[in-house]
Chain A
Amino acid sequence: MRPNDRRYTQTHEWVKPDGETMLVGITDFAVRELSNGNEDDLVYCDLPDAGRTLAAGETFGEIESVKAVSDLNSPVAGEVIETNVNIEEHLEVLAKDPWNAGWMIRLRPERKSLDGLLTAEEYEKFVAAGGH
């Protein structure tokens, strides 16, 4: 079972409340799909600068693996107040610990509610059905 302290999207991002802010990252499923189980296959990640305002569902960055470039989409609306610069240099973090050390951006959310996003249980079912 994936962590139930956060919510998930059908595009395989997660969002986790952290005090007044929220952390956003991508799931183990997304990492595995991109990297084919080989962490060296992740080659590039482009994250936004702090200060950028995002709408829910808006693309905030891009990640490249050896064989695919994919968008990163924000699960909620808010302002980017911090990015995890460690990731851009150490993409292997995403494979090792997508849930904690692999956070990508910290948002000051427009709203506190995460209604409409998938619970861990719902995300499990979505992934079990193929994840598309």
Chain B
Amino acid sequence: MLGAGESRGPMERWRLITTWDAPPAWNMGLDQALLETPEAPPTLRLYTWRPGALSLGYFQKYAEVPAAEKAPLVVRRITGGGAIHHQRELTFSICVGLDHPLYSGSVGASYTKVHAVIARTLAEFGVQALQRGERKLLSDREGTGMCFHHSSALDLVWNERKGVGSAQRRKAGRVLHHGSIKLDTTALEGEIASVADASRGVTPQQFAARWIEHLSADLGLKLGADAPTAEERLRAKELTRRFEDPEFTRRR
């Protein structure tokens, strides 16, 4: 696990892209564009969705996620894992080269490092989050296909429920680490853990501000507010069409 200040060097520069209340297919298109731009600098993207869509994992079968029929809109992610209802949450994507110290070890170690910084941020809001380890959770449920109803040892949990879900796509020497930090529960996901267990009414922007502080301090990052390049925006627009296509969403 990376400790405070243990990083590549003094104040390594990362790009910070925030896009609030953006369309679901475009959210997925931009994440893929960031992954597939080899020369892109390390990037943290923080975002929310409008409408609050449900995303399926890359390999999931549409028919095996009953909540898909009730969601206002459904898209398919390029990361694996279960379905997520993107409402009352802060969504993040980290996009860097696999040679970056956060991701250069085992896949499991990369989760532990990123989750450690999220856990320290959660603590500021009164949430004592731990990695699940070997225990069963109250939020584990069969047959829903939902990410927050299926847990693994590395997941961040509190009150015996899962409250942070994340997954990675690795491609051509780069990684997209995509995740959801739950600020409150939704009807589609039911009783899972959220920041509201300890602090009600925390907005995605409030959580984002504190997480950025922790990433800067704990990992020695200088996160500069930025925007996608013209090429990334163009590529994101092209990719958005695929994520809007029902054939892609329902292809399994």
Please report A residues at the B interface, Cβ cutoff 8 Å: 11, 32-34, 36, 43-44, 46, 62, 64-71, 130, 132
Set of chain A residues within 8 Å of B59, measured between Cβ atoms: 43-44, 46, 64, 69
Chain B residue nearest to A57 in the complex (CB)? B172
Please list 15 pairs of residues, one from A and one from B, whose beta carbons are closer than 8 Å in the complex, sorted by A's number. Answer: A33-B107, A36-B107, A36-B108, A43-B59, A46-B59, A62-B58, A67-B108, A68-B169, A68-B170, A69-B58, A69-B78, A69-B168, A69-B169, A70-B171, A71-B171
Given contacts A68-B170, A71-B172, contact A130 B80 (CB under 8 A): no
Q: Beta-carbon contacts of B163-190 to A below 8 Å, as 1s and 0s? A: 0000111111101000000000000000
Considering the complex, which residues of chain B in the window 33-91 have a beta carbon less than 8 Å from any beta carbon of chain A? 58-59, 78-81
* B16 in contact (CB, < 8 A): no
Q: Are A67 and B173 in contact (CB under 8 A)?
A: no
Set of chain B residues within 8 Å of A66, measured between Cβ atoms: 80-81, 152
Given contacts A46-B59, A132-B98, contact A68 B104 (CB under 8 A): no
Set of chain A residues within 8 Å of B171, measured between Cβ atoms: 70-71
Number of interface residues of B (CB under 8 A): 24
Given contacts A36-B107, A132-B99, A132-B173, contact A68 B168 (CB under 8 A): yes
Set of chain A residues within 8 Å of B196, measured between Cβ atoms: none
Given contacts A36-B107, A36-B108, contact A71 B170 (CB under 8 A): yes
**Shortest Cβ gap from A39 to chain B (Å):** 14
* B154 in contact (CB, < 8 A): yes
How many residue pairs at the A-B interface have CB separations less than 8 Å? 61
Residue of B107, B167, B169 with most chain A CB atoms under a 10 A cut-off: B107
A67 to B167, CA, bound (A): 5
* B111 in contact (CB, < 8 A): yes
Set of chain B residues within 8 Å of A68, measured between Cβ atoms: 80, 107, 167-170, 175
Please report B residues at the A interface, Cβ cutoff 8 Å: 58-59, 78-81, 97-99, 104, 106-108, 111, 152, 154, 167-173, 175
Q: Are B168 and A36 in contact (CB under 8 A)?
A: no
**Shortest Cβ gap from A37 to chain B (Å):** 8
Besides the known contacts A46-B59, A67-B152, A132-B104, 18 further A-B residue pairs in the complex with CB atoms under 8 A apart: A33-B107, A36-B106, A44-B59, A44-B80, A62-B58, A64-B59, A66-B80, A67-B80, A67-B81, A67-B107, A68-B168, A68-B169, A68-B170, A69-B167, A70-B171, A71-B170, A132-B97, A132-B98
Set of chain A residues within 8 Å of B81, measured between Cβ atoms: 66-67
Q: Are A64 and B58 in contact (CB under 8 A)?
A: yes
A130 to B110, CA, bound (A): 14
**Shortest Cβ gap from A75 to chain B (Å):** 14
Set of chain B residues within 8 Å of A62, measured between Cβ atoms: 58
**Shortest Cβ gap from A48 to chain B (Å):** 16
Chain B residue nearest to A64 in the complex (CB)? B80
A37 to B78, CA, bound (A): 24
